[in-house]
């Protein structure tokens, strides 16, 4: 069997790594991939957004299964293009991916099905949005409707900040089409958690829970990033929350999609706020999370290929899934300055020395040059360790991190610290 993975981040390296262990897999390709995927797959120089070239490659090379990593490829309809060519592909159609690519579509569906989420009002006129803000309590949350590279959500502490966000979207057009409409949403208090579910249109199968660390610095200080680390399982999501979540979110969501004639097949990743009144949906993502995937997949004992096939074929009701009981901790090593301006082309040392049986080093922004691995992005590596306890997994992950070096490397020291009862005070 030949598999193509689309994307170039840590998530895609983790997917390639897991798929490469599958008994039936002969060849894996990754487009465009990174220096890590190149160790297990053949990198193909096609961008994740070049749908026609990707489909042509899959056809010409008789790819049996293509797995899509990035949200923007899904949002522009890569799955529709592949299916139009009768190519087997894992991911939701453009219409189904609207759950992620339009926060208003998702909110309206949640409203219709009474799925617990933050109360929200929808605006496309600046005057009406500002008038609403004048009557509002703060903090309040402003959300651009469309995909905005993780920058479209502003938790505004006071009126002026909220007004600036509304103006940027509705009058200045700074978010383009994504900010032509927006949501003004109640600010929820609690702790966040990431869930992943395989969804085959009718049935779903939950993967292990995880938690992400979005802020750049220790103690959740500094700007938002793509994610500076993760751990699995989440320490704020037990069996009771899971049962509540399946009944109050997953079931009605699948019903609602079906009633609207939308068939969702792929990976659904709801972001939750665990509040005093139970879980509330913050958003739906329609692909594997990054860096959650790097913490979840090393815990997956089952073969991933049959699970992806069952999702595509609608047989998830017969699928089973087995997990390593041990927790996993993932520490992201980033370029100094990220998520702002940063330099690239720094030589990375210590990669071989840091890897071991229970430590996986997933590459994100890396490439190979003159026999060396160099940095090529903001998030550079995701170092995952398994351990008997979260404390052991943390210690092992940080030990591996300490063996790796590149100039101006930055990482958080408090990944999963909340799960071992510790707390670093922000600066």
Residues within the interface to ligand ADP (CB under 6 A): 118, 141, 150, 152-153, 155, 185-188, 192, 214, 271, 282-283
Q: Which does 118 bind (CB under 5 to 8 A by kind): Mg ion, ligand ADP, none?
A: ligand ADP
Closer to ligand ADP by CB, 55 or 129: give it: 129
CB 36 within 8 A of CB 20: no
Residue 76 burial (10 A CB sphere; 0-12, 13-18, 19+): middle
At closest approach, how far in Å is the CB of 283 from Mg ion? Answer: 5
Q: Which does 188 bind (CB under 5 to 8 A by kind): Mg ion, ligand ADP, none?
A: ligand ADP
Closest CA to 230 of 156, 290, 152: 290
At closest approach, how far in Å is the CB of 119 from ligand ADP? Answer: 9
Q: Which does 153 bind (CB under 5 to 8 A by kind): ligand ADP, Mg ion, none?
A: ligand ADP
At closest approach, how far in Å is the CB of 289 from Mg ion? Answer: 9
Considering only residues 91 through 110, tell me which ones interact with Mg ion, judged by CB under 5 A.
Answer: none
Considering only residues 266 through 285, tell me which ones interact with Mg ion, judged by CB under 5 A.
Answer: 271
Residue 276 burial (10 A CB sphere; 0-12, 13-18, 19+): exposed
At closest approach, how far in Å is the CB of 141 from ligand ADP? Answer: 4
Q: Which does 391 bind (CB under 5 to 8 A by kind): Mg ion, ligand ADP, none?
A: none
Residue 292 Cα to chain centre, angstroms: 6
Q: What are the Cα distances from residue 405, in Å, to 21, 348, 349, 367, 385? A: 28, 6, 5, 15, 18
Q: Which does 340 bind (CB under 5 to 8 A by kind): ligand ADP, Mg ion, none?
A: none
At closest approach, how far in Å is the CB of 50 from ligand ADP? Answer: 24
CB 32 within 8 A of CB 19: no
Q: Where are the beta strands (DSSP E) in 286-327?
A: none
Closer to Mg ion by CB, 282 or 331: give it: 282
At closest approach, how far in Å is the CB of 45 from ligand ADP? Answer: 29
CB closest to Mg ion, residue no: 271
Q: Which does 192 bind (CB under 5 to 8 A by kind): Mg ion, ligand ADP, none?
A: ligand ADP
Closer to Mg ion by CB, 51 or 193: give it: 193
Q: Which does 32 bind (CB under 5 to 8 A by kind): ligand ADP, Mg ion, none?
A: none
Closer to Mg ion by CB, 139 or 271: give it: 271
Residue 112 Cα to chain centre, angstroms: 26
Q: Measured between alpha carbons, how far is 288 from 290 in angstroms, rounded to an integer? A: 7
Strand order in 27-32's β-sheet?
42-43, 27-32, 2-7, 65-68, 89-90
CB 48 within 8 A of CB 8: yes
DSSP state of 323: B
Q: With CB under 5 A as the contact rule, which of the stretches 200-208, 264-272, 301-309, 328-336 interacts with Mg ion?
A: 264-272
Closest CA to 246 of 276, 279, 277, 273: 279
Closer to Mg ion by CB, 252 or 271: give it: 271
Long-range contacts of 164-169 (CB under 8 A, 24+ apart): 166/123, 166/126, 166/129, 166/130, 166/133, 166/142, 167/126, 169/142, 169/144
At closest approach, how far in Å is the CB of 271 from Mg ion? Answer: 5
At closest approach, how far in Å is the CB of 313 from ligand ADP? Answer: 30
What is the secondary structure of 116-165 as a DSSP string?
-B--EEEES-HHHHHHHHHT--SSEEEEESS--TT-SEEEESSHHHHHHH
Q: With CB under 5 A as the contact rule, which of the stretches 227-235, 265-273, 290-298, 344-352 interacts with Mg ion?
A: 265-273
Closer to ligand ADP by CB, 137 or 325: give it: 137
Q: Which does 25 bind (CB under 5 to 8 A by kind): ligand ADP, Mg ion, none?
A: none
Give me the residues paired with residue 375 across strands. 366
Q: Determine the size of the site formed for Mg ion (CB under 5 A).
A: 1
At closest approach, how far in Å is the CB of 400 from ligand ADP? Answer: 27
* 224 is a contact residue toward Mg ion (CB under 5 A): no
DSSP state of 256: H
CB 379 within 8 A of CB 405: no
Residues that bind Mg ion (CB under 5 A): 271
């Amino acid at each position: 069997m030949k598999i193509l993975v689309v994307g170039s981040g840590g998530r895609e390296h983790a997917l390639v790594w897991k798929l490469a262990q599958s008994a039936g897999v002969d060849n894996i390709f990754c487009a465009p991939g990174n220096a890590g995927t190149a160790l297990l797959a053949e990198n193909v120089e096609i961008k994740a957004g070049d749908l026609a070239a990707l489909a042509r490659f899959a056809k010409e090379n008789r790819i049996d299964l293509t797995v899509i990593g990035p949200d923007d490829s899904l949002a522009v309809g890569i799955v529709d293009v592949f299916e139009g060519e009768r190519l087997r592909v894992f991911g939701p159609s453009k219409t189904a991916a609207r759950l992620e690519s339009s926060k208003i579509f998702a909110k309206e569906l949640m409203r219709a099905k009474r799925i617990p989420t933050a109360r929200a009002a929808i605006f496309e006129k600046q005057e009406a949005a500002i008038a609403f803000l004048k009557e509002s309590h703060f903090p309040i949350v402003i959300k651009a409707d469309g995909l905005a590279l993780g920058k479209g959500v502003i938790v505004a502490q006071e009126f002026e900040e909220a007004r600036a966000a509304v103006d940027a979207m509705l009058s200045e057009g700074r978010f383009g089409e994504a900010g032509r409409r927006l949501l003004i949403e109640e600010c929820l208090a609690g702790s966040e958690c990431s869930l992943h579910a395989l969804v085959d249109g009718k049935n779903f199968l939950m993967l292990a829970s995880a938690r992400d660390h979005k802020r750049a610095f220790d103690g959740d200080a500094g700007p938002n990033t793509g994610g500076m680390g993760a751990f699995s399982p989440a320490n704020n999501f037990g069996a009771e929350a899971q049962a509540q979540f399946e009944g109050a979110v997953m079931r009605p969501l699948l019903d609602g999609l079906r009633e609207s004639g939308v068939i969702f097949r792929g990976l659904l990743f709801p972001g939750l706020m665990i509040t005093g009144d139970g879980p509330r949906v913050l958003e739906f993502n329609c692909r594997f999370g990054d860096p959650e995937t790097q913490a979840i997949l090393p815990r997956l004992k089952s073969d991933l290929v049959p699970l992806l096939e069952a999702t595509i074929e609608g047989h998830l009701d017969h699928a089973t899934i087995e997990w390593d009981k041990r927790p996993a901790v993932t520490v992201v090593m980033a370029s100094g300055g990220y998520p702002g301006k940063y330099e690239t082309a720094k030589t990375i040392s210590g990669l071989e020395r840091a890897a071991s049986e229970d430590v996986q080093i997933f590459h994100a922004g890396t490439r190979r040059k003159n026999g060396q691995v160099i940095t090529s992005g903001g998030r550079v590596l995701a170092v995952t360790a398994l351990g008997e306890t979260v404390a052991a997994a943390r210690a092992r992950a940080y030990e591996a991190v300490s063996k790796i070096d590149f100039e101006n490397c930055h990482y958080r020291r408090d990944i999963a610290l909340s799960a071992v009862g510790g707390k670093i005070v922000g600066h």
